[in-house]
Structure 1
Amino acid sequence: MRKVTAAAQKQLGRLWHTSNIYMHPAIHEYADKLTALLPDPLKVVCLTNSGSEANDLAMLMARLYTRNFDLICFRGGYHGASPYTLGLTSVGVFKPSIANGFGCQTTMLPDVFRGPWGGSHCRDSPVQTIRKCSCSQGCCEANDQYIEQLKDTLRTCASKAVAGFIAEPIQGYNGAVQYPKRFLQEAFRLIRERGGVCIADEVQTGFGRTGSHFWGFQTHDVVPDIVTTAKGIGNGFPMAAVITTREIANILAQIFHFNTFGGNAVACVVGSAVLDVLAEDDLQKNSEEVGTYMLLEFAKLRDKFEIVGDVRGKGLMIGIEMVKSKDSRQPLPAEDVNQIGEDCKDMGVLFGMSGIYGQTFRIKPPMCITKQDVDFAVEVFQAALMRHLEKTSAK
Structure 2
Amino acid sequence: MNGSLTKEQTLNLRKQFIGPSCTLFFKSDPVKIVSAKGQYMYDEEGHEYLDCINNVAHVGHCHPQVVAAGVEQMGQLNTNSRFLHDNIVLLAQKLVSHLPNQLCMVYFTNSGSEANDLALRLSRHHTKGTEIIALDRAYHGHVVSLIDLSTYKLDRMIDGVHTKPDFVHIAECPDTYRGKYNTASNPNDDLATLYANNVEDILDNIAKKDKQVCCFIAESMQSCGGQVIYPPGYLTKVFQSVRAAGGVCILDEVQVGFGRVGTHMWSFSTQNVVPDILTLGKPMGNGHPLSAVITTKEIAASFEGCGVEYFNTYGGNPVSCAIGLAVLDIIEKDKLLENAVKIGKLMETKLNELKEKYTLIGDVRGLGMFWGLDLVKSRATRAPATDEAAYIVSRLKEEYILFSRDGPDENVLKFKAPMCFNKDNVEHLILKLDKILAELTSNKEH
TM-score (norm 1): 0.92
Write the distance in 2 (CA, Å) between the matches of 1:229 and 1:258: 18
Write the distance in 2 (CA, Å) between the matches of 1:95 and 1:380: 37
Structure 1 stretches (4+) deviating beyond 4 angstroms? 131-135, 157-160
Aligned to 2:232: 181
Higher deviation after alignment, 44-53 or 107-116: 107-116
Write the distance in 1 (CA, Å) between the matches of 2:203 and 2:143: 25
Structure 2 residue aligned with 1:204, among 251, 255, 280? 255
1:101 Cα deviation after fit: 6.4
One-letter amino acid of the structure 1 residue matched with residue 169 of structure 2 = Q
Structure 1 residue aligned with 2:76, among 3, 6, 14? 14
Pair 1:26-2:78 in alignment: no
Aligned to 1:122: none
Q: Deviations over 1:97-129 (max 9, x none)?
A: 32366422110111100123334xxxxxxxxxx
Aligned to 1:42: 103
Pair 1:99-2:152 in alignment: no
Structure 1 pair 97–156 and aligned structure 2 pair: CA distance change class (3 A): same
Write the distance in 2 (CA, Å) between the matches of 1:54 and 1:194: 24
One-letter amino acid of the structure 2 residue matched with residue 195 of structure 1 = G
Alignment of 1:164-175 (within 5 A): 164-175=215-226
Aligned to 2:374: 321
Structure 1 pair 329–201 and aligned structure 2 pair: CA distance change class (3 A): same
Write the distance in 2 (CA, Å) between the matches of 1:162 and 1:133: 30
Aligned to 1:71: 132
Structure 2 residue aligned with 1:341, among 393, 396, 401? 393
1:26–1:268 CA contact under 8 A, matched in 2: yes
One-letter amino acid of the structure 2 residue matched with residue 97 of structure 1 = G
Q: Deviations over 1:249-284 (max 9, x none)?
A: 122322222111111111000000000000000001
One-letter amino acid of the structure 1 residue matched with residue 397 of structure 2 = K
Q: Deviations over 1:28-84 (max 9, x none)?
A: 111111111111110011000100000000001111110001110110111011111
Write the distance in 1 (CA, Å) between the matches of 2:73 and 2:406: 37
1:95 Cα deviation after fit: 7.9
Structure 1 pair 168–95 and aligned structure 2 pair: CA distance change class (3 A): farther
Higher deviation after alignment, 80-89 or 98-107: 98-107
Write the distance in 2 (CA, Å) between the matches of 1:185 and 1:147: 9
1:81–1:94 CA contact under 8 A, matched in 2: no
Unaligned runs of 5+ in 1: 120-130
One-letter amino acid of the structure 1 residue matched with residue 388 of structure 2 = D
Pair 1:244-2:295 in alignment: yes
Aligned to 2:65: 3
1:154 Cα deviation after fit: 2.1
Structure 2 residue aligned with 1:378, among 424, 427, 430? 430
2:206–2:212 CA contact under 8 A, matched in 1: no
Structure 2 residue aligned with 1:83, among 144, 163, 172? 144
Percent identity at matched positions?
36
Structure 1 pair 142–366 and aligned structure 2 pair: CA distance change class (3 A): same
1:83–1:101 CA contact under 8 A, matched in 2: no
One-letter amino acid of the structure 2 residue matched with residue 239 of structure 1 = L
Aligned residues: 377
> 2:402 aligns to what SS in structure 1?
coil
Write the distance in 1 (CA, Å) between the matches of 2:235 and 2:130: 21
Aligned to 2:404: 352
Write the distance in 2 (CA, Å) between the matches of 1:157 and 1:304: 48
Structure 1 pair 117–307 and aligned structure 2 pair: CA distance change class (3 A): same
1:86–1:100 CA contact under 8 A, matched in 2: no
> 1:241 aligns to what SS in structure 2?
strand
Aligned to 2:47: none
Write the distance in 1 (CA, Å) between the matches of 2:93 and 2:204: 41
> 2:316 aligns to what SS in structure 1?
coil
Unaligned runs of 5+ in 2: 1-62
2:406–2:413 CA contact under 8 A, matched in 1: yes
Higher deviation after alignment, 76-85 or 148-157: 148-157
Report the aligned-residue RMSD.
1.7
Aligned to 1:109: 173
One-letter amino acid of the structure 2 residue matched with residue 152 of structure 1 = D
1:132 Cα deviation after fit: 9.2
Structure 1 pair 227–319 and aligned structure 2 pair: CA distance change class (3 A): same
Write the distance in 2 (CA, Å) between the matches of 1:249 and 1:223: 16
Structure 2 residue aligned with 1:147, among 196, 205, 216? 196
Write the distance in 2 (CA, Å) between the matches of 1:192 and 1:161: 12
1:303 Cα deviation after fit: 1.4
Write the distance in 2 (CA, Å) between the matches of 1:359 and 1:155: 35
1:336 Cα deviation after fit: 2.6
Write the distance in 1 (CA, Å) between the matches of 2:168 and 2:112: 18
One-letter amino acid of the structure 1 residue matched with residue 373 of structure 2 = I
TM-score (norm 2): 0.81
Write the distance in 2 (CA, Å) between the matches of 1:132 and 1:161: 34
Q: Deviations over 1:316-351 (max 9, x none)?
A: 01111111111111101x333111110011112111
Aligned to 1:308: 361
Structure 1 pair 352–134 and aligned structure 2 pair: CA distance change class (3 A): closer
One-letter amino acid of the structure 2 residue matched with residue 248 of structure 1 = I
Write the distance in 2 (CA, Å) between the matches of 1:41 and 1:147: 24
1:78–1:89 CA contact under 8 A, matched in 2: yes
